[in-house]
Structure formats: structure tokens, C-alpha cells
Amino acid sequence: MEVLQKFGRMPAGLTIPAIAILLVVVGIPTIQLFLTSLNAPSFSLVNYQAFFEQRADVVILFRTVTMSVVVTAICVIIGYPTAYLIVAAPQRLRITLVVLVLIPWLTSGLVRTYAWTVILGDHGLINNLLIYLGVISSPLTLVYNRLGVYIGMVHIMLPMMILPLLSAMQGIDKSLMAAARSMGARPFAAFWRVFFPLSLPGVRSGALLVFVGCLGFYITPQALGGLSDAMLSGFIADQFQSTFDLAPIATSAYILLAIAMVVLSVFGFNLSDVQGRPAQISHRARLSQFSSLGQGSRYINEIVTHYRAKRWASHLYQVAHGGTWSKLVGVVFMLSVLVYLLCPGLIVIIMSFSGAAFLEFPPSSLSLRWYQSFLGDPSWTGALWTSVQLGIATTIASTIVGTLAAYGLSRTSSRLRSFLIMVILTPITIPVIVVGVAAYLGLVNLGLLGSKTGIVLAHSIGAIASVVVIVSATLANFDRTLEQAAQSMRAGPLRTFTRVTLPLIRPGIIGGAVFAFMHSFDEVVVTSLVSAFAVTTLPLKLLENIKQQIDPTIAAVGSLLTLMPLLWLVALYFVWRRSRLNASHMLTEPAT
Amino acid sequence: MNLHLGNVTQFSSKETALNENPVAAQIEFRHVTKMYARIAAVKGVSLTVGQGEFVTILGPSGSGKTTALMLLAGFVAPSNGDILISGKSVAAVPSYRRDQGIVFQNYALFPHLTVRRNLEFPLEMRGMKAPDRVKRVDRMLERVRLAEFGDRMPSQLSGGQQQRVALARALIADPPILLLDEPLGALDRNLREQMQGEIKSLHREFGKTTICVTHDQEEALTLSDRIVVMRAGQIEQTDTPEALYDRPTTRFVATFLGEANILEIRDFKVEADAAQPSGTVAVVRPERVCIAAPGAPKRADADLRQSVTGKVDDMIYAGPLRKYQVRVGNSMVIVREHVASGQQTFKPGEEVCLGWLRSDVRFVKS
């Protein structure tokens, strides 16, 4: 008890509300699930045996892992050059490109998945175009098979790969590449020997995020895949609808969780630390010296030595040519990636203005009829209203709790801090379907299943994690001596916080709040499990309609869901810019 | 600090084909201009650096000195003009096809490679075989007194050690040219003096044509054979350190390199050996000015001197030096005096007599 009191007085005590919510909603239920999967109190591995004896289950498990690995690999292959090109671009262009990559990440995954069905379908955009051009005579099967799933999942996951890569690559000191070139390394050698090894922490973080994301995200494979493309997460969600027996569900969830945990612990848990610290790098470098890979590359290196020596002598002080081709290839590659990322959203927006009675692209006439039908249908507006209410409630709760936690964490010793951050970020680092199952059980415990309060709690655990990430980033740049200065002027801790700290970290808090709202407004996996058909949010209603493939009202809703985050982004931009302008204004203002 | 390790550092020429190049190269800038957007970072610069010479480019930030180094290193190409190394035009030769060693401002040591692998890098890129590389790295590590640090990571070294690794890495492939970008900027004062000695002894030993870029005048004065003072993309003056300090030709050089008293004509008539050319101002260095009580006996060389009276405004004591600010008319004259025993000191408000040799007055373009 005494320990607990002491903890409460420490700065880390500010994380108590966040951790309490986390424990009640998913923490304790996760333990319950584990016990259920082990058939407690009799404790046996019957459920696991049953799972692995079912051939179909094992096939699904194997498929889940393979598909996640393939998607991760494709994301690395596409994402790495994309991030590299963005980092290499001049500053203005770079910011634009980052925003363009961010936009799809912020807009509803559900809507973009829906857009792919329109683009890839038998009478979809691509088939129509190819038939029109006479390339093919009958439509290609692009969707409801593995290809469609990969196209859709990579599309969803790619920004999550690119963002950590960007962060890692931007941290690489440019003079290192200059140094390598000055020592005679040709551009490729400089890249391969210096840039690439230093960017590996970004590859690691991105690949982990994508892999774990793939394990838990079932909407896209379900919408774009056939029966033989079902993944374990979808299987869990289906079991949920059909049975009340928790044991097999808990078992599947734990198997999924175990895969995620094994992968995370092999490749490193700490997803928040994208910029690999020097110490870590050195550790890794040491390891790679002993690894067979290091040996192999050194062996190859020695073989090319002779060739290098010859080339060095013959090329010394020779003028270099070209570079135009590689530039052209870069531009084409970047444009293709942007088209791939942005097209689905754009198509939904354009299609929503169609005047026809069925979905078509390009629209033959323009009208607002589907917006009217959306606004005139109480079931849609009701869902919208519900989503807005849930979003606002989640935002308020998670912003307060998350900011307190981030503030507490910023003045906690680093070891305790990294542990607590790991705990708080668990909801966004483990497969989302597992979070959903656990939250279901947690809300059953609380008697809140199918209630709005319950959904707000379930949404909050993810939203708190986003708030903590964003506010912590702001606090990391916050000058602690300002607080000491305030305290030296006899401001108490509370006064210091409200008068000095809070105004300075406000942009971070607003950013966190916006992300919390977007998280809640878009959430569909957890919501579908904990709503128990009693509460219908906009994404749930959308999901239901996509499954039934009916009227183009979906396009209008999708277009709204796509445009709204953009509005948020613009609003955020202005908040941040104003605060930065203020700051620079204060600095340039002469002291009077 | 001067280490004489004798033939430890002499690379045998049989060992590799690297040493076919001459030990040092001549560098020539011919009317070089570099435009960024519409702004000229370097404007019509012409400069010749002889074989084995140590030349420092000195200037405030934004003077174009870094661009000059980038041009020389081959990281950027000139918009106009030509750069020659040993008579060959290299304006369009990329950095990796030049034979040069560069010490970067922040050292740019590869953080993912050990000290040893860092030093091997330029040798590898030149296609040297592994056993030769190891031998040469061993010798170089010994030369810079880091023999036991070969397997450390750069982050595990102190600032001075990192600096030595950076120097070793730039020199190890025996390039004819060595470029230093603010080499001592990141070090604290004591270490900086040590490293100045180190750089000087390495230059003496290896005899590379060396170009150093810095904004630190002390660094420039102590290291260089010649100093190029740059301002707004152009060369203001090129000369040996002594000549530059004693005979600056422009007001900018006079005030940028050390302190200078600008003697305003309106306060008193400046007497000098030569007539004052138009468009110039008279300057005298603070350490050439003598300070005395008004009633003090005349010095033996009084007829070679000009003396004025003023009032002490402030006195700053700085260890071996005492610095007075004396108000003469409307302007301030700074006097720097070495502290000696039995010396008379003056307090703010006291009347004093200032004097300097007429031959110490310089006329510089204003």
C-alpha cells in the first residue's frame, strides 16, 4: 500500500488514469482470455490442441502469417525508395510529398477499401479502361482473390511503412554521404555502405508496424478477398458473430497475439523510438560483424577489390556523365506511388457526385442526389450523429488522460518511462482484433457492452495512445528551464503548469485531440465487436452497406469521410503555424 | 605535441598503386562563380594554391567560404569559371573521382562502423587489398595515438579523439589534397590548441596541399602559410598571416582580423609618414598605442610619434593584458597593454595621454 502511495506522489502517478482505463478495458480481460484459453480452472491445452488439430485452422494461421509477410515485404520494397526520394527532394517539395503520403493514412481505410472494389471490379475502372482500349476482351479477375487483397492491404499499410522510414532517413547526417563520396565511394557504394545501414532502424520499425497491422486488420482481406483469402483475424470476428463460446475465440486471439509478440521481441519492442540511438547502432554493428551476412558481404567486397582498384585509376579526374535517366525513373516511380495512394480516395469523391442510379465511374452526369439521400435518411444521419457524439466524448476523455500521462512520463526516470510507454502503447502495437476481443470481455465485466459509454471507453484506449505519442513528442522539445524560471518567480507547480507549460504545449495537445477524434470516428474493428448491434456508428453502417453492395449513398458517405480528415489537417496546420509564428514573433521582438 | 615517429608514417610505394599521384597538387580557381537561385555565393574568385601550401579561407558566415570548399571538394559544380587541380580542369569531375581527403566540420565519422572500418573505408574505395589495408590502418592509428581504440565505435570516443580519427581518415589514402572544414570548431579551448599543433605537425610531415575553411581568426593565423579573407562571395585580401595583420588593405580585413582603432579625421588630424590617399581611413592596432599620464616625461622617440589626450572610459583586466577604452573627442580608442610590474594603471575618468608611432598608422580602404 505504501508503495502505491509513493507511486501516486511521483510524476509517474499522473499515468494512473491512463493505465487504469487500459487495465480495466483490456488488461484484465486479456488475462481472463488467457485463462479461458487454458480452460481454467482445470488448466489444459485442449483448446490449443483442438486448434492445431483442425486442418482448416492451421491453414488459416499459415495463410495469415504468409500474407502478412508478403504485404510487409511489398511495403518495404515500395516504401523504401519512396521514402528515399522524399528525403532527397528539395525542402518545399518534400513537405508536399509528406502531406500527400499522410492524407491516405488519415482517411478512412474502410472507404479506401470500398474504392478498390470499384476500381478493380469486373466492371470497374481498370477493366473498363482496358476493354475500351482493346487490350483485353473479357474482364480480368482483379478482385475477390489474393491479388485484390494484396493491392488493398499494401495500399492501407504503405503510409505506416513510409513514415518511420522518413523519420529514420531524415535523421541521417547528410555530411556522412558527402564524406563517403569524398573518399572515393561512388553514389551506389555510398548508399549501400553508409545510408542503407543507418536507415535500417526505420525499416525495422516500419516493417513491425505493418506486420502487426496486417495480423489484426480483417476488413480489407474480407472485402477484397475470396473465401480462400480469409485471415485469422477475420476468422475470429466471424466466430464472434456465430458463437458464444469464448474458449476457441480466446485461443485464436492468443495464437495471433503470440505471433505478434514473438516477432516484436525478436526485432525489438520499442516502436516509439524510431531514431535508433547510437548505442543501439553500435550494438547492432558489433553483431553484424559476427553475422554470416557480414562475412558474406566482406567476401564479396574483397572480390571486387581488384575491379575497384582498376576503376579508381582509370576514372580518376574523369568527368561524370548522365544522371538524367535515374532522375526520370525516380520521378516516374514517385508519381506512380502517389497515384496508387491517392486515386482511391479521389475516385470515391468524384463518384459521389454522380447523377446515375447506380455506381459508375466516370460519372455520366453530376448531381448532389446522393448527398441528399444521405442527409434525408434518418438511419444514416443517426449513425453520423452517434459517431460525432462518440468522437467528442472520446476526444475529451483521452486528451485529458493522455496529456496527464505524457506530462507525468516526461519527468519520470528513463527506465520506468520506457516501460510505462510500452504499456500505454500496447493497444496500438498488438493486433487490433485482439484488442477488440479483450475490450469486448472488459465491457461485459463492466456491464457496458453495447452502450455508448462502453464504446467511448474502448475507443479511448487507442486514442490515449495517440495522444501520448503526440504530446510526448511536443514535450521532448519543451525547455524545462522555463518551468524552473516560473518556479523561481514563486509560481507553484499547478500555476506553472497552467501558465507556462500548458500554453507552450497546446499545439501538441490540439494535435493529439484531432488524432483522438479521427481514431474514434474511423474505428471499425473494435467497434463492430463491442457495439453488440445496439449502437450503430457511421463506419459500422458503411461496412454493412458495403457488404450488401447497394446504393451509391455509400460514395457520398465515403467522400465525406475522406474530406473530413483533410479539413482537420488544414485546421491543424493553421493552429501549428500560428503558434510557430507567435514563437518567432516573440523571439524577434526586441526586449523593451 | 610534435611527435616524431620517423618512418612509421612513411608508406612504402610498392605496397599499392595509390602513390602514383604526386605528394601534393597545385590548385587553381579561375574566375569561379557559383550561383544559388539568383544569389552569387561565390563571385569571380581567382586563386592559386601552390604545392604543399597551407592556405586558410577566412571569413564570417555567409562570406562564401563554405561554398568555395564545396566547389573544391566537387560537391557542387561552378556556375562559371574553372577549377584546376595540377593543371587539369575538374569543374565537372564528381567528388568520388577526385583524390582528396576531407575533414568535415562535425567529423562525419560513420557511426555504424568502428574506428578501424572508418579508416579502411577510403582504402577500400580505392581497391586496396585487405592485408595492406590492415597494415596501413595500424600504422595510421599509431601515428595519431589511437592504437588501442581501433575497435571502438566513434560515439565511444572523446571529441579530440574523434577529431584525430577524422584527420587520420582524410590522410590515410595519401591524397595530394587535404581539405579542412572548420576543423577545430567543435572543440573546447585547450583541446583546440593541442589540435592546432597536431594539424601543423601532420602538415609538415605529409606535405599535402591543404585548404582550411574557418571563421576563427586565431586558427587562421596560427596554421596557415597564407590566408584568404573572403567577404560577400569575393576575396578581400590574400596574404601571409603577418602581412595580413600588419598591413591590411581594407577596413573589413583590419577589423575582422584582430581589433583595430579607426581614427576619425574629425576628432584630430592624423599624422602619418605618407599622405592619406582619398577613400581611406587611418587605423592603428590597439597594442601599438601607448598610454601614459599627461605629465609623464617625453619618450626618446617622441618626434616619430603622434600623441593625443583623452579620458579613460573603461578598463578591462584580462590576465596578461589590460585593455583601456579611452575617449578622444567623439571616438573611442582602444589600448591594449601587457601587464608588467611597476606599471601605472588608470581609472575611468582619468585624463591620459595616448601615443603611437606614425609608421604604425595604416591607411585602409573604407
Query: What are the boundaries of each domain within chain A?
Result: 1-30+369-580, 45-277+325-351
Using CA coordinates, name the residue in chain B closest to A318. Answer: B93
Chain B residues within an 8 Å CB radius of A187: 96
In the CATH scheme, what is the homologous superfamily, with its name and number, of domain A45-277+325-351?
Answer: MetI-like (1.10.3720.10)
Instruction: State whether residue B129 sits within 8 Å of chain A by CB.
Output: yes
Predicted confidence (pLDDT) at residue A29 exceeds the cutoff of 70: yes
Using CA coordinates, name the residue in chain A closest to B72. Answer: A182
Predicted confidence (pLDDT) at residue A78 exceeds the cutoff of 80: yes
User: Distance between terminal CA atoms of chain B?
Assistant: 42
| A232-271: pLDDT as tens digits | 888 888 887 777 778 888 888 888 888 888 888 887 655 4
Q: Calculate the average pLDDT of chain B.
A: 85
Which residue matches cell numbers 575538374? Answer: B90
Domains along chain B? 6-246 (3.40.50.300), 260-365 (2.40.50.140)
Angle between helices A91-106 and A146-170 (to 10 degrees): 140
Tell me the DSSP string of B242-258: HHHHHS-SBHHHHHHSS
Select the residue of B98, B124, B155 nearest A278 (Cβ to Cβ).
B155
Chain B residues within an 8 Å CB radius of A279: 155
Instruction: State whether residue B153 sits within 8 Å of chain A by CB.
Output: yes
Instruction: State whether residue A281 sits within 8 Å of chain B by CB.
Output: yes
Instruction: State whether residue A310 sits within 8 Å of chain B by CB.
Output: yes
User: Which residue did the predictor score with more confidence, A288 or B141?
Assistant: B141
Alpha carbons B73 and B34: distance in angstroms, whole number? 14
pLDDT at A275: 37
Alpha carbons A362 and A124: distance in angstroms, whole number? 10
Alpha carbons A76 and A254: distance in angstroms, whole number? 27
Alpha carbons B177 and B165: distance in angstroms, whole number? 17
- Does A317 sit within 8 Å of B90, measured CB to CB? yes
Beta strands, E only, A431-539:
none
pLDDT at A399: 93
Using CA coordinates, name the residue in chain A closest to B172. Answer: A183
Cell numbers describing residue A263:
516477432
| A419-432: pLDDT as tens digits | 888 888 888 888 88
Buried b / exposed e along A352-381 (16+ C-beta atoms within 10 A)? bbbeeeebbbebeeeeebbbeebeeeeebe
pLDDT at B231: 92
Instruction: State whether residue A4 sits within 8 Å of chain B by CB.
Output: no
Predicted confidence (pLDDT) at residue B166 exceeds the cutoff of 90: yes
Total CB pairs under 8 A between chain A and B: 124
Grouping H, G, I as helix, E, B as strand and the rest as coil, residue A115 is: helix
Alpha carbons A279 and A258: distance in angstroms, whole number? 29
Q: CA nearest B166: which of B218, B126, B216, B111? A: B111
Instruction: State whether residue B333 sits within 8 Å of chain A by CB.
Output: no
Low-confidence winner among A178-192, A418-432, B264-278 (lowest mean pLDDT): B264-278
Over range B192-199, report the average pLDDT: 86
- Contact between A344 and A115 (Cβ < 8 Å): yes
Q: Is the peptide bond before B241 cis (omega within 30 degrees of 0)?
A: no
Chain A residues within an 8 Å CB radius of B169: 183
Instruction: State whether residue A300 sits within 8 Å of chain B by CB.
Output: no
Over range B62-68, report the average pLDDT: 89
| B106-162: pLDDT as tens digits | 899 999 899 999 999 999 898 888 889 999 999 999 988 899 999 999 999 988 899
pLDDT tier at A304, thresholds 50, 70, 90: confident
- Contact between A396 and A390 (Cβ < 8 Å): no
Rank A34-43, A244-253, A405-414, A458-467 by mean pLDDT and report only the highest: A458-467
3-state helix/strand/coil string of B11-39: CCCCCCHHHHCCCCCCEEEEEEEEEECCE
Instruction: State whether residue B146 sits within 8 Å of chain A by CB.
Output: no
| DSSP character at residue A366 | B
Over range B54-58, report the average pLDDT: 94
Overall size of chain B counted in residues? 366
Chain B residues within an 8 Å CB radius of A310: 127
Predicted confidence (pLDDT) at residue B236 exceeds the cutoff of 60: yes
Alpha carbons B89 and B29: distance in angstroms, whole number? 10
Predicted confidence (pLDDT) at residue B9 exceeds the cutoff of 70: no
Angle between helices A196-216 and A146-170 (to 10 degrees): 140
pLDDT tier at A74, thresholds 50, 70, 90: very high
Chain B residues within an 8 Å CB radius of A308: 124-127
Select the residue of B20, B113, B129 nearest A305 (Cβ to Cβ).
B129
Alpha carbons B297 and A579: distance in angstroms, whole number? 67
Chain B residues within an 8 Å CB radius of A90: none
Alpha carbons A100 and B315: distance in angstroms, whole number? 62
The residues pairing with B362 across neighbouring beta strands, listed in sequence order, are: B283
Select the residue of B106, B125, B130 nearest A184 (Cβ to Cβ).
B125
Alpha carbons B3 and A213: distance in angstroms, whole number? 60
pLDDT tier at B24, thresholds 50, 70, 90: low
User: Amino acid identity, residue A238?
Assistant: D
Over range A114-138, report the average pLDDT: 83
| A549-571: pLDDT as tens digits | 666 788 888 888 888 877 877 88
pLDDT at B20: 47
| A49-63: pLDDT as tens digits | 888 888 888 888 888
Predicted confidence (pLDDT) at residue A501 exceeds the cutoff of 50: yes
A230 phi and psi angles, rounded to 5 deg: -65, 140
- Specify the DSSP element, H or E, that contains B342: none
- Contact between B43 and B64 (Cβ < 8 Å): yes
Alpha carbons A346 and A363: distance in angstroms, whole number? 13
Chain B residues within an 8 Å CB radius of A302: 129-130
B362 phi and psi angles, rounded to 5 deg: -115, 145
Q: Calculate the average pLDDT of chain A.
A: 82
Instruction: State whether residue A564 sits within 8 Å of chain B by CB.
Output: no
Select the residue of A183, A197, A313 nearest B125 (Cβ to Cβ).
A183
Burial of A247 (0-12, 13-18, 19+ CB in 10 A): middle
- Does A308 sit within 8 Å of B126, measured CB to CB? yes
Q: What would the CATH number be for the domain defined by A1-30+369-580?
A: 1.10.3720.10
Q: Chain A: nearest CA to B111, how far in angstroms?
A: 7
Over range A209-223, report the average pLDDT: 86
Predicted confidence (pLDDT) at residue A298 exceeds the cutoff of 80: no
Predicted confidence (pLDDT) at residue A342 exceeds the cutoff of 80: yes
Alpha carbons A21 and A401: distance in angstroms, whole number? 9
Predicted confidence (pLDDT) at residue A544 exceeds the cutoff of 80: yes
Predicted confidence (pLDDT) at residue A279 exceeds the cutoff of 70: no
Chain B residues within an 8 Å CB radius of A178: 73, 75, 95, 102, 104, 108
| B311-357: pLDDT as tens digits | 999 998 888 889 999 988 888 889 998 888 878 888 898 999 888 88
Rank A15-29, A303-317, B2-16 by mean pLDDT and report only the highest: A15-29
Cβ-based neighbours of A179, under 8 Å, separated by 6 or more: A194, B102, B104, B108, B110
Select the residue of A310, A313, A320 nearest B94 (Cβ to Cβ).
A320
- Does A179 sit within 8 Å of B108, measured CB to CB? yes
pLDDT at A72: 94
Predicted confidence (pLDDT) at residue B163 exceeds the cutoff of 70: yes
- Does A279 sit within 8 Å of B155, measured CB to CB? yes
- Does A278 sit within 8 Å of B95, measured CB to CB? no
Over range B264-270, report the average pLDDT: 70
pLDDT at B54: 94
Predicted confidence (pLDDT) at residue A467 exceeds the cutoff of 50: yes
- Does B124 sit within 8 Å of A308, measured CB to CB? yes
Instruction: State whether residue A188 sits within 8 Å of chain B by CB.
Output: no
User: Distance between terminal CA atoms of chain A?
Assistant: 54
Predicted confidence (pLDDT) at residue A590 exceeds the cutoff of 80: no
Q: Chain A: nearest CA to B277, how far in angstroms?
A: 41
Mutate to test the interface with B, among A92, A174, A182 (most CBs of B within 10 A): A182
Cell numbers describing residue B114:
568502428
- Contact between A215 and A233 (Cβ < 8 Å): yes
Same CATH topology for A1-30+369-580 and A45-277+325-351: the answer is yes
What ipTM was estimated for this complex? 0.81
Rank A24-38, A390-404, A436-450 by mean pLDDT and report only the highest: A390-404
A84 phi and psi angles, rounded to 5 deg: -60, -45
| DSSP character at residue B359 | G
B102 phi and psi angles, rounded to 5 deg: -125, 135
